[in-house]
Each structure stands twice: as C-alpha cells, then as structure tokens.
C-alpha cells in the first residue's frame, strides 16, 4: 500500500500567511519541510481522506491525478478538511472523461453539506453519498473502513477511520485529542500497521489532551498501543497536522519524537506498507 501525505498542517497552514509569529517567520526563511499545506492523505492514488482548500495545489505540486480517486472519506466538516464547493471541478462539462461517480463517505453534516452545495443533477452521475455511523463497518470500492469516534468538536460527530486494504490496517487518527473510551474499546484486539496521529501542539504537560493531541498525548497513545499489543511487528506511528502555535518547526518535532521511533510527516512524504 502506498501512503502519500499531501498536506500536514493544521487549519491555518504553516506558516499562517497572515501571521508574524517567530515560528511562521522562521518557516518562511528556512522553507523545505517547514512549509506545510492543510492536512490530507491519499492511499494508492484511489482512496483519499478529506478535501482541504489546498486540493488544487496538492494535485499539481505532487502530480496527483484526482480522476483516479474512487473513494473520498470525510472526517468532519471544519473548513480545512471539507471544501465541497471545490468538488464542482468534477461535475459534467467541468471534467471530461470521467465514467463513474466519486463515492463519498462521511457524517450527517458532511452529507447535508454535499447535497446543499453540489448540483442535484450530478448525484449518481458524478457523486454518490454515503452517510456512515461510528463503529459500523463499510465496504468501499477500494477498502474496508470502520468509522471511529474522535474527541474534537463537541457539536459534531467527528470521525477517525480504521482502514483495511490489501492486507494492511491503517488507523487514521486525526483530528482528535485522546480517543474516546468507546474508540479504545473497539480497538482492543485489533492490529495496526500504521497509525497516523494528530500532533497539533508540542509540549503542554497534558498526557490526555482534548480536541487535539500534543507530544505527551502521542506518547501516551504509543504506550497504550504497546500495552495492548496493537501495533503489528514493524508497525509505525506517524504524526501530522502541525500548527504554528506549537512553536515547533519540523526539526524540533523530529528531535522530540526520534527517541521513541515515531516519524514526523511532511508534505510529500511517501511510504509503502
């Protein structure tokens, strides 16, 4: 399975284009892996998680052919993950040579947002909508997915995904803080080849932070994975979704996580499971 990180920043991007804080100014000066667009991941070029405002940049910069994507999973409807208006680019007369609808999966709010935003005439021609429920397994065209509960926005049922594809098992774990107990209960006895985790903050002294994870929360999650023997042999943890408010640049996160064998994602990171 090919895993391609298209973007690795939190909502404002890194650097925030309006911000003059020290991390943003350092990121502009240093460039490279310190420049981060909004978070999204694509698997084997056919299964994509979230559709951020940077989708056009991702496609062009990373050479992604979005016409190949068969399944699109939404975690929640915050603007850095959910831009249904940009899916207009896939409707008839805008995009040519497409012969099947994009299968889209998400919660109630995502489905309503899609229905209200995209032309009704395109339903079943270019888009097919699937409301998913926490802990209810679903077979997509490309994988078997199980939505899990996140701890993120208390006014929305935000989702994580346990993805099973080609014999590999991926836990897509952002945006969220410490997983809700229902999610931990579901994960007991499961195996994980790759856990992609939210690390929006750096150190804040909280092992089980809410809404987003920090470094201490990531290490607490790793400890639980080890206690419950959830990670497969050679299983990996990769952190993503970094905010300039963390005060950390790429190398700072690498320094913090390297002793624990945790990899720090950057825009364009690609790996094969």
Residue-by-residue pLDDT tens, the chain, 273 positions: 999 999 999 999 999 999 999 999 999 999 999 999 999 999 999 999 999 999 999 999 999 999 999 999 999 999 999 999 999 999 999 999 999 999 999 999 999 999 999 999 999 999 999 999 999 999 999 999 999 999 999 999 999 999 999 999 999 999 999 999 999 999 999 999 999 999 999 999 899 999 999 999 999 999 999 999 999 999 999 999 999 999 999 999 999 999 999 999 999 999 999
* Pairing between β-strand 192-198 and β-strand 263-264 as defined by DSSP bridges: unpaired
CA distance 58 to 9: 13
Neighbours of 163 (CB within 10 A): 26
pLDDT of residue 98: 95
Residue range 92-135, pLDDT digits in tens: 999 999 999 999 999 999 999 999 999 999 999 999 999 999 99
pLDDT of residue 6: 98
What global pTM score does this model have? Answer: 0.97
Distances (CA, A) of 36 to 8, 12, 15, 59, 266: 6, 10, 7, 15, 7
Of 138, 137, 133, the residue nearest 149 (C-alpha): 133
pLDDT of residue 108: 98
In contact, 123 and 111? CB cutoff 8 Å? no
pLDDT of residue 21: 97
**Six token digits for residue 138:** 């679903």
Domain boundaries, the chain: 2-272
Query: Rounded to a whole number, what is the largest CA-CA distance in the chain?
Result: 54
CATH number for the region 2-272 comes to 3.60.15.10
pLDDT of residue 84: 96
Helix (H) or strand (E) holding 196: strand 192-198
- Report the half-sphere exposure of 41 (CA within 13 A, side-chain side): 28
């Amino acid at each position: 399975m090919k895993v391609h990180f298209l973007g690795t920043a939190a909502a404002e991007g890194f650097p925030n284009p309006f911000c003059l804080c020290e991390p943003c100014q350092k990121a502009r000066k240093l460039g490279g892996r310190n420049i981060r667009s909004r978070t999204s991941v694509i698997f084997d070029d056919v299964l994509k998680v979230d559709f951020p405002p940077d989708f056009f940049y991702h496609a062009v910069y990373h050479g992604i052919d979005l016409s190949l994507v068969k399944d699109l999973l939404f975690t929640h409807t915050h603007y850095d993950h959910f831009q249904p208006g940009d899916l207009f680019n896939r409707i008839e007369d805008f995009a040519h040579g497409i012969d099947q609808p994009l299968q889209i999966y998400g919660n109630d709010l995502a489905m309503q947002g899609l229905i209200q935003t995209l032309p009704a005439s395109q339903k079943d021609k270019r888009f097919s909508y699937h409301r998913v429920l926490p802990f209810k397994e679903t077979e997509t065209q490309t994988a078997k997915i199980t939505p899990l509960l996140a701890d993120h926005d208390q006014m929305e049922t935000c989702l994580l995904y346990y993805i099973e594809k080609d014999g590999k098992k991926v836990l897509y774990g952002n945006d969220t803080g410490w997983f809700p107990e229902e999610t931990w209960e579901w994960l007991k006895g499961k195996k994980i080849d790759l856990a992609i985790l939210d690390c929006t903050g750096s150190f804040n002294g909280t092992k089980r932070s809410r809404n987003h994870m920090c470094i201490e929360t990531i290490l607490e999650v790793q400890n639980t994975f080890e206690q419950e023997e959830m990670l497969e042999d050679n299983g990996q943890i990769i952190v993503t979704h970094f905010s300039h408010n963390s005060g950390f640049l790429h190398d700072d996160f690498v320094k913090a996580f390297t002793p624990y064998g945790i990899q720090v994602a950057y825009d364009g990171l690609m790996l094969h499971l």
